Amino acid sequence: MIPIAEETIGAAGQGVYRLHGAPDNANFVVRMVLEELGARYEFVSVDRAAGEQKSEEYRKLNPQGLIPVLEVPGQDAVTFETGAILLMLSERHRSLAPAPESSGRGRFLKWLFFLSNTLHADLRISFKPHRYMLDKACMPDLNAALRSRIDASFLLLEQELEACGGPFLLGGGLSCLDLYLAACARWAQIYGTCGVWPADNYPRLFRLLEELEARQSVQRACELELIEGLPFTAPTPVAFAREK
């Protein structure tokens, strides 16, 4: 790991982050949050076609060999796991999440962990089901189970949006949850092997996705991630090479 030099720490005391990732990987979520925060950061490209995320050097950052990693000035270790990175950023910037002592904190935390532990985790399986089921004959069953779990997760989110009145998951104010959710909605429509998640069957979610697409921060993040067109309501895959 290349340590971040002290002199790169910004005037606002927030420092310069260093984000490691590849186009439209989970770093997309972190990038949208960094852009929304207006934080200074550098991007280090990880070559997935060459399997760089599994290299000895990269595993010094994340021993799982997974993207993303965020280097945070002043921390004694890098941060990996998308959910942890979002929590870290929202706390450091006191933005995009209810304050720890506020009455909305529990609501924020439960949905953050839900997105990370349930929806994103299931989507990951749907991207590479062969890693979870060695017997090919069982693949249709796995895909059917994933389809129903993923749809059920999005339904819970739709119901939460209805209950809180939207347009965002916590009601009137944008949080990092919305950006995480939008990326999951994007990936669920284009990268899974268990069928397409029909975003337009979920009107409140669809409205949230439209709202996010209009934000400058999201548009800038998309440009930097090589994502073209409407990223959430009419997504198309990024043409990037992956390791076999």
Ligand X SMILES: N[C@@H](CCC(=O)N[C@@H](CS)C(=O)NCC(=O)O)C(=O)O
Per-residue binding string, ligand X, 1-40, x by CB under 6 A, is ------------------------xx--------------
CB closer to ligand X out of 24 and 36? 24
Q: Candidates 124, 207, 215, 220: give the one binding ligand X (CB under 6 A).
A: 124
Binding-residue total with ligand X (CB under 6 A)? 11
Task: Report in angstroms how near the CB of residue 44 gets to ligand X at its nearest.
Answer: 14
C-beta of 12 vs 49, nearer to ligand X: 49
Residue 44's H or E segment, with its range, is strand 41-45
Kindly write out the interface string for residues 57-96 of this chain, putting x where it contacts ligand X by CB under 6 A and - elsewhere.
--------xxx-------------xx--------------
> Looking at beta carbons only, is 25 or 189 nearer to ligand X?
25
Pairing of strands 69-71, 17-21: antiparallel
Query: Taking the complex as a whole, how short is the minimal distance between the CB of residue 29 and ligand X, in angstroms?
Result: 8
DSSP-derived secondary structure for 75-130: -SS-EESHHHHHHHHHHHHT-SS--TTSTTHHHHHHHHHHIIIIIHHHHHHHHSGG
Is residue 91 within 8 A of residue 85, CB to CB? The reply is no
Q: Counting contacts by CB under 6 A, is residue 126 touching ligand X? A: no
Tokens of 196: 């397409």
Pick one of 53, 90, 153, 233: the residue that binds ligand X (CB under 6 A).
53
- Which structure tokens are listed for 228? 């073209």
- Smallest Cα–Cα separation from 120: which of 90, 85, 163, 149? 149
**Shortest-Cβ-distance residue relative to ligand X:** 82
Q: Is the dihedral of CA 44, 47, 53, 59 positive or negative?
A: negative
Question: Measured from the CB of residue 59, what is the shortest distance to ligand X in angstroms?
Answer: 11
Among 33-41, 116-124, 155-163, 195-203, the segment contacting ligand X (CB under 6 A): 116-124
Among 51, 92, 58, residue whose Cα is nearest residue 73: 92
User: What would the two tokens of residue 219 be?
Assistant: 């548009």
Helix (H) or strand (E) holding 21: strand 17-21
Pick between residue 176 and residue 204 the one whose CB is nearest to ligand X. 176
In residues, how long is the chain? 244
Token representation of residue 180: 């995480």
Q: For ligand X, give the closer residue by CB, 78 or 164.
A: 78
Given the complex with ligand X, which of 83 and 204 has the nearer CB atom? Answer: 83
What residue ranges bind ligand X (CB under 6 A)? 25-26, 53, 65-67, 81-82, 116, 120, 124
